[in-house]
Structure 1
Amino acid sequence: MKTLRIEKMIYGGNGVAESGETLPFVLPEELGQPEAGAFPNVIEASPDRVAPECVHFGACGGCHYQHANYPAQLEIKRAILLETFAAAGITELPKIEVHSGDPWHYRNRIRLRVGEVDGELRVGYNRAGSSGGEAMLPVTMCSIASPILWRAAEAVVALAKTDAAVRGWLAAAVELEFFTNDDESALQLVLFTRRPPAAGFGAFCKALQKSIPQLEGAGVALLPKNPSPQGRRAEHAKSGPQWGTPGILYRVGNDRHWVSRGAFFQVNRHVVAQLLRLAVGERKGALAWDLYAGVGLFSRALASTFETVVAVEAGQPAATDLAAALKGKKHRAVAMTTLEFLQAAVIQRERPDLIVMDPPRAGVGAEVCALLARVRCPEIVYVSCDPVTLARDLKQLTGDGYKLVELNLVDMFPQTFHMETVSVLRR
């Protein structure tokens, strides 16, 4: 049987040998053999190897690094970030500062699949290596979810056995999404379905609230009757029945943010305050732009130290939350894409003192980078959740006159290969 000496870890969770062959669930310098199951046969184990916390690790597609102790996970991510930048041709780098928190029970949002297994309704996740089209993996625990989220999932399944209203809605569901706030004092639920029952959603929610008093609101998202071949992310849901309050208050530092049900918010409740501090800090001035602003996490903090903040967000319901959060004659929320905003700003020759931007995984892209170079803002803070698109964008920005002066790795996603970074560029 082929034996591989693992040279390093690569983005995506696997280890790679000198031959270029890859193995999952290994660590640098380990000696292993591929096996038919999820885990390879490890002949020589790393001293950083530990027993996984979750019984579903390996079969579940959610986590990739539970077999490594936490300091080793952080070092793996730092090494991958360095290599990603080198591959993009970025050679002049500041020291990477690593920031982290509690690596367990950190997620404030989980999205669970719902299905019948052996005659019983169960909840679960996608299996490792699947795109979601295969049979789900039923789970009995989730070590990275906030405790209240898993208690709510268990309550729904338990109630389905005794309550007709709950059973009817859960049987019709495709997925459930739970979202909680910083101290787990409030909970929101979104139920995704293709064929909702005719009525009884209020009864479903009231029954669940008796078991989970923190449940403040819930809504139904109606998916197309025929699943998209591109997966759930490509499906556009329509609003169905709603119950209770439409969102929750989420405290970060001294600010309380209103987050509507379904709106994006940073997922790690343990380190979001660190992320905010790195992105905003003590910066001050006349004008700041917050691009891809979401519900206004950075905008609210910037508004206390800048005379004027312009926050740009196209997505709903985040854009509505942003407009409500950024009140005042000197501050404004703009409901358009960042590309459209920058195209207009270049024509008007606007120039802010600071730009903070937090784009989705696709990054900002070549056209936005080119427009940013024309704006010539003296300082840009780039918050990224994908090192590959970040390196691509920074290569263009540094070629257009910016210098990368600060690079922070913020571990928003412990136990997984995903990573968040905060980069600071100056002209």
Structure 2
Amino acid sequence: MIKKNDLFEAEITAMTAEGSGICRADGMAVFVPGTAVGDRCVVRVVKVLKKYAFGRLEELLTPSPDRTTPDCPIAGPCGGCVYRHITYEAELKIKTQRVRDALERIGGFENIPMEPILGAPSRTRYRNKCQLPIGLSKNGEMQMGFYAVNSHRIIDTHTCLLQPEVFDRAAEAFRAWQKLSGESIYDEAAHSGVLRHLYMRCGEKSGEVLVCIVANGVKLHGEDLLVKMLREAVPEITGIVLNINRERTNVVLGRELRTLWGKPTIRDTLCRLEFEISPHAFYQVNRTQAEVLYNKAAEYAGLTGAETLLDLYCGTGTIGLSMASRAKKLIGAEIIPSAVENARKNAAHNHVTNAEFLCGDAKDAARILYERGERPDVIVIDPPRKGCDAAVITTIAAMRPTRVVYVSCDPATLARDLKQFTAEDYNIEAVTPVDMFPGTAHVETVVLLSKLKVDHHIEIELKMDELDLTAAESKATYDEIKAYVLNKYGLKVSQLYIAQIKRKCGIIERKNYNVSKKEDAKVPQCPPEKEAAIMDALKHFQMI
């Protein structure tokens, strides 16, 4: 049995999802960063767990034919780029295999209709956003760069091959200003000091540059000098802002912004649409590959101009808006109110008149569409890394779109969700990996799902007022809801209040139930604290 600090010779035969090579010792899998498939090497064991171990490359005996000379001196310690030591062709093969393995092993799929991975035109300088943590070195000087793997130890960085060169110039000017001004550095443990992060964004097409200093305070020493030095070093700069973050948190940005010079936003163009980007706004980090991804999603959507398109998890609306001109109507749904507001502004700014954006989750969107007598023909989903909740997939299937386009940033959760989609009578028509982040372990995937035997389905119209009660109503009685609220919150709620909240949630009441027969009757409205308690009860009884 292997143990810590053992040395052994082995060949790397595969890669993990995180980009480490895999070899075996005494029948146990050992994960070794910085290796390539085909490497023959000496490995030192650094940690042993029950079923696998971690190793360190001690000596390279025979290099893999995929190996190349790393072009970044800190690629290993930084850990952001796990593939800078192999060719791009090899990296794309690994990412393709990662998607295939997830669909086969987690999803249980065979004969997967995989299309070739869509690689990027460049592995370098493609990121349009950068956030550099700031700290103190052992000798008491400011350091700024990236966190080492699995730590909050800063690797001091003066250039990053993933960032545009303009960010390097801005960062060096910021370093020089800090030395002259003597502005203090934030200490996480003591929650003292001022400078926390340097945050930068640029427009690939517009060329505009925004520099944002994240500070544990409302003012910097020498703000005028900072503006002068940044503008001299970066003529492209269009805005310099101070972001105030005085919270004990790992979240980079605080809520409050103060403009030091210029404007607090930049503009950029994506899929022929112009977007205004603030420090808080979501925008694809690799704009060029985002267009590739969106174009593939649009191809899979197969819009002819006659369809209603529903964009779930729409965020600021970029995917849906890029397809709006090909659809009869676009409906976006997003649970974050600020993102919905941004989506509406983006639609108005780009003169998109056939789009509307709803604030809510998939169930909210489904209810609203049902009540209006609408049914989406195509649904696009781009969920977070955790994938879709099972209830969301069930809701999508209940809406019965002819096509679903799934955009995923995690092959494992994608495979899990596709398994449920196929159980809901959807078939996987095509799968295309897209390399949005060359050099890193991340890979995006676009999947086309189509409804099985859609021509054989029969449309049945059910009028809810013809039914005695809804399925949701049958799950809990009024007395059960009252008891739950009283026991948990100590609040007494009436049947009238429960009925109001049920109607608000789209749970249809029986005709004339709990409605006064007086035409001019004043109906008391449920107080907010009781509404929240009733909502919790409805969730508890799985009625919403």
- Greater shift, 20-29 or 241-250, is seen at 241-250
Task: Give 2:327's aligned amino acid.
Answer: F
Q: 1:343 to 1:214 in 2, by over 3 A?
A: farther
Change (3 A) 1:173 1:271: same
Q: What TM-score do you get using the length of structure 1 for normalisation?
A: 0.89
The offset of 1:38, in angstroms, is 6.2
Alignment of structure 1 residues 28-67 onto 2, 5 Å: 28-35=37-44, 39-67=57-85
2:379 equivalent in structure 1: 355
Report SS of the residue matched to 2:78. coil
What is the distance in 1 between the residues matched to 2:141 and 2:15? 39
In structure 1, distance between residues paired with 2:393 and 2:448: 15
Q: Do the aligned partners of 2:245 and 2:256 also contact (CA within 8 Å) in 1?
A: no
Are the structure 2 counterparts of residues 274 and 377 from structure 1 closer, same or farther at C-alpha, using a change threshold of 3 Å?
same
Q: SS of 1:267's equivalent?
A: coil
Structure 2 match to 1:106? 126
Alpha-carbon contact 2:127-2:286 (below 8 Å) kept: yes
Larger mean CA deviation between 324-333 and 89-98 belongs to 324-333
Question: Could you say if the C-alpha distance between residues 316 and 220 of structure 1 is closer, same or farther in structure 2, counting changes exceeding 3 Å?
Answer: farther
Task: Map residues 256-335 of structure 1 onto 2, 5 A cutoff.
Answer: 256-281=274-299, 283-284=303-304, 285-315=306-336, 317-327=338-348, 330-335=354-359
Q: 1:316 to 1:216 in 2, by over 3 A?
A: farther
Q: Matched residues in 1 for 2:38 and 2:30: separation?
A: 14
The CA deviation at 1:32 is 2.4
Question: 1:236, CA displacement in angstroms?
Answer: 7.4
One-letter amino acid matched to 1:209: R
- Conservation of the 8 A alpha-carbon contact between 2:177 and 2:225: no
Residue 245 of structure 1 corresponds to: 263
- The question of whether the paired residues in 1 share the 8 Å contact of 2:243 and 2:254 is answered with yes
Q: CA deviation at 1:218?
A: 3.9
Determine the C-alpha separation between the residues in 2 that align with 1:199 and 1:140: 23
Out of 76, 96, 104, the residue aligned to residue 94 of structure 2 is 76
Aligned partners of 2:276, 2:345: CA distance in 1, in Å? 9
Structure 1 window deviating more from structure 2 (25-34 vs 271-280): it is: 25-34
C-alpha distance in 2 between matches for 1:338 and 1:203 = 50
Larger Rg: 2
Query: Could you say what secondary structure the match of 1:383 adopts?
Result: strand
User: In the aligned structure 1, how far is the partner of 2:58 from the partner of 2:390?
Assistant: 40
Aligned partners of 1:148, 1:100: CA distance in 2, in Å? 25
Aligned to 2:164: 146
For residues 388 and 222 of structure 2, what CA distance do their matches in structure 1 show? 44
Query: Is the alpha carbon distance of 1:217 and 1:24 closer, same or farther for their aligned partners in structure 2, counting shifts above 3 Å?
Result: same
Identity of matched residues, %: 27
- 1:91 matched to 2:110: yes
Q: Is the 8 A contact 1:259 1:321 kept in 2?
A: no
Q: Which residue of 2 aligns with 1:17?
A: 23
Moved more, 73-82 or 37-46: 37-46
Amino acid aligned to 2:22 = V
Aligned 8 A contact 1:356 1:381 in 2: yes
How far, CA to CA, are the matches of 1:26 and 1:413 in structure 2? 19
Residue 326 of structure 1 deviates from its aligned partner by: 1.8
Aligned pairs for 1:145-294 (under 5 A) are 145-162=163-180, 164=181, 167=183, 172-183=194-205, 185-197=207-219, 201=223, 204-205=226-227, 207-227=229-249, 232-233=250-251, 237-243=254-260, 244-281=262-299, 283-284=303-304, 285-294=306-315
Gaps of 5+ in 2: 1-6, 47-54, 187-192, 452-544
Q: Which moved more, 1:170-179 or 1:256-265?
A: 170-179
Q: How has the CA–CA distance of structure 1 residues 222 and 47 changed in structure 2, closer, same or farther, with 3 Å as cutoff?
A: same
Q: Cα distance, 1:42 vs. partner?
A: 2.1
Q: Give the distance between the partners of 1:314 and 1:169, measured in 2 at CA.
A: 36
Any idea what SS the aligned residue of 1:304 has?
helix
Cα offset for 1:387?
Answer: 0.9
Matched residue of 1:152: which SS?
helix
Does structure 1 conserve the Cα–Cα contact (< 8 Å) formed by 2:310 and 2:331? yes
Shift of 1:201: 5.0
In 2, distance between residues paired with 1:316 and 1:425?
29
The farther-off stretch of 183-192 and 141-150 is: 183-192
| 1:348 Cα deviation after fit | 5.7
Which moved further from structure 2: 294-303 or 328-337?
Answer: 328-337
Are the aligned partners of 1:98 and 1:410 in contact in 2 as well (CA < 8 Å)?
A: yes
**C-alpha distance 176-342 of structure 1, shift in aligned 2 (>3 A):** farther
Contact 2:212–2:240 at 8 Å: present in 1 too?
yes
- Match among 416, 424, 429 for residue 392 of structure 1: 416
**AA paired with 2:244?**
L
Partner of 2:147: 126
Distance 1:179 1:317 in 2: 20
1:104 partner letter: T
Q: Which residue of 1 aligns with 2:537?
A: none
Query: Structure 1, residues 2-26: CA drift from partner, whole Å, max 9, x if none?
Result: 2232221111111222431111111
CA distance in 2, matches of 1:39, 1:172: 40
Residue 294 of structure 1 and its aligned partner are, at CA, apart by 2.4
What is the match of residue 5 of structure 1?
A: 11
Residues 139-193 of structure 1, C-alpha deviations (whole Å, 9 max, x = no match): 122011122222222221123233x3x8468962211221111236111233333
Could you say which residue in structure 2 is the equivalent of 1:137?
Answer: 155
Summarize the Cα distance change of 1:320–1:152 in structure 2 as closer, same or farther, 3 Å threshold: farther
- Displacement of 1:413 after TM fit? 0.8
Structure possessing the higher relative contact order (Cα contacts under 8 Å, 6 or more residues apart): 1
Give the match's secondary structure for 1:68: coil
RMSD (Å), alpha carbons: 2.5
1:244-292 deviations in Å (ceiling 9; x for gaps): 3232221123222222322111111332221121111362333111122
Conserved 8 A contact 1:249-1:256: yes
Q: Shift in Å at residue 125 of structure 1? A: 0.3
Q: Using the TM superposition, give the Cα deviation of residue 375 of structure 1 relative to its aligned residue in structure 2, in angstroms.
A: 0.9
